Amino acid sequence: MNQRSSRPGVTIVLLLCSNEIAIQFLPYSTSILNLVQLGRLRVDVVIVPATTGQLGVLPGHVATIAELKPRIMSVHDGNGVTKYFVSNGFAFVLTNSFADLIAVEAVPLDRIDACLVRKGLPEFTKKLKSASTDLEKAEVQIGVDVHSALNSP
C-alpha cells in the first residue's frame, strides 16, 4: 500500500451511483451508468445511518459492513459538518481507517425540496390504507418511510 499521510483520519471514498437497471448490484462494476466519485476525503468522523442504528466511524474503527437506511449521513471534518441524505446503499469500513460509503442517491440537504416532501407524505399515508397486495403495501410503506425520513432531518 502507498504511504499514508501522517494526519490521522477516516478516508472516505464516497461513490454516488445509480443502477436503475436490474444488473447484479456490483458497486464497482463499470456498467453502472453514473458513477460519481465525490473524492477521497480525509475526515474525522462519519456518522452513517445503518439499518441497525447510527454508526459513528472514527479512525481505527473495526472493520464493518453495514446496509444503509434512507437517512442522513454526516461527515465531520475540522471545518464543520456536511450532511447528505442517502437513499440506500452500503458502508464498508476497512481495517486501515478507510470507509467506502456507497449510495445510490446521496444528496446534500440543501437540494431537497421541503414542499414536495410535505406533499408526498400524506399521499403515501393515504395509499397505505388502500393498498391491496403485499407488494403494493411494501411499496407504499417504502414511500412513507422515505418521505418521513426526508421530512425530519
Partner 1 sequence: MSAPMPFWRAAGMTYITYSNICANLVRNCLKEPHKAEALNREKVHFAISTWKDGKAEKPVVLLKFELPK
Residue 45's contacts (CB-CB under 8 Å, 6 or more residues apart) are: 10, 56, 57, 58, 75, 76
Least separation in angstroms between residue 75's CB and partner 1 is: 18
Strand 71-77 and strand 45-50: the pairing is antiparallel
Measured from the CB atom, the residue of 85 and 98 that comes closer to partner 1 is 85
Instruction: Write out the three cell numbers for 96.
Output: 486501515
- What residue ranges bind partner 1 (CB under 8 A)? 18-22, 25, 33-34, 51-52, 70, 85, 87-89, 104-105, 107, 110-113, 116-117, 120, 134-135, 137-139, 141-143, 146-147, 150
Phi and psi for 126 in degrees, rounded to 5? -65, -45
Least separation in angstroms between residue 4's CB and partner 1 is: 32
Measured N-to-C along each axis, helices 134-151 and 114-130 cross at an angle, to the nearest 10 degrees, of 150
Measured from the CB atom, the residue of 64 and 88 that comes closer to partner 1 is 88
Measured from the CB atom, the residue of 98 and 124 that comes closer to partner 1 is 124
Measured from the CB atom, the residue of 6 and 134 that comes closer to partner 1 is 134
Rounded to whole angstroms, the maximal C-alpha distance in the chain is 59
Least separation in angstroms between residue 50's CB and partner 1 is: 11
Cα angle for residues 136, 121, 19 (degrees, 5° grid)? 60
Least separation in angstroms between residue 133's CB and partner 1 is: 8
Closest CA to 99 of 18, 9, 4, 7: 9
Measured from the CB atom, the residue of 37 and 52 that comes closer to partner 1 is 52
Least separation in angstroms between residue 25's CB and partner 1 is: 6
